[in-house]
């Protein structure tokens, strides 16, 4: 369990992935750039992707996030988060 202070620190700059913004770069490259730029948490948002694809992408991003000390949150897919060993799941109001 995180303290309020550590949770606030972890959420200081929250990056959310969106493949439409990659501009020809890989998702890993963009996440690495976000972390280098100060992102303190990354949310993997892959709407429409299969659980297996989301889990694979999360597993690929985990080393980057771990090295930066940033939690990796998976959007809307609890199974993918568990399979990948992600730090959490974001479930929106309409997804509950």
Per-residue pLDDT reduced to its tens digit, 28-58: 999 999 999 999 999 999 988 999 999 999 9
* Other beta carbons within 10 Å of 2: 11
Other CB atoms within 10 A of residue 72 CB: 24
* Token code pair at residue 67: 């090295």
Is 33 within the bounds of a domain?
yes
Q: Average model confidence (pLDDT) for the chain?
A: 90
Domain count, the chain: 1
3-class SS of residue 48: coil
Q: What is the mean pLDDT of residues 53-68?
A: 97
**Cα 41 to chain centroid, rounded:** 7
Structural domain of residue 80, as residue ranges? 4-91
Instruction: Supply the pLDDT for residue 93.
Output: 72
Q: At 59, is the pLDDT very low, low, confident or very high (cuts 50, 70, 90)?
A: very high
Kindly report the CATH number assigned to the domain that includes residue 73: 3.20.20.70
The secondary structure element, H or E, covering residue 65 is helix 51-68
pLDDT of residue 92: 79
Q: What is the pLDDT of residues 80-90, one digit of tens each?
A: 999 999 999 99
> Has residue 78 been placed in a domain?
yes
Question: What are the φ/ψ torsions at residue 71 (nearest 5 degrees)?
Answer: -65, 150
Residue 96 lies in a domain: no
> What average pLDDT does range 4-27 have in this prediction?
83
């Amino acid at each position: 369990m995180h303290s309020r202070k550590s949770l606030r620190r972890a959420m200081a700059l929250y990056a959310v992935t969106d493949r439409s913004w990659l501009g020809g770069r890989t998702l890993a490259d963009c996440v690495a750039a976000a972390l280098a730029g100060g992102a303190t948490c990354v949310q993997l948002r892959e709407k429409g992707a299969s659980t297996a694809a989301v889990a694979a992408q999360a597993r690929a991003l985990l080393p980057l996030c771990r090295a930066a000390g940033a939690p990796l949150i998976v959007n809307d897919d609890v199974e993918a988060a568990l399979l990948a060993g992600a730090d959490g799941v974001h479930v929106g109001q309409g997804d509950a």
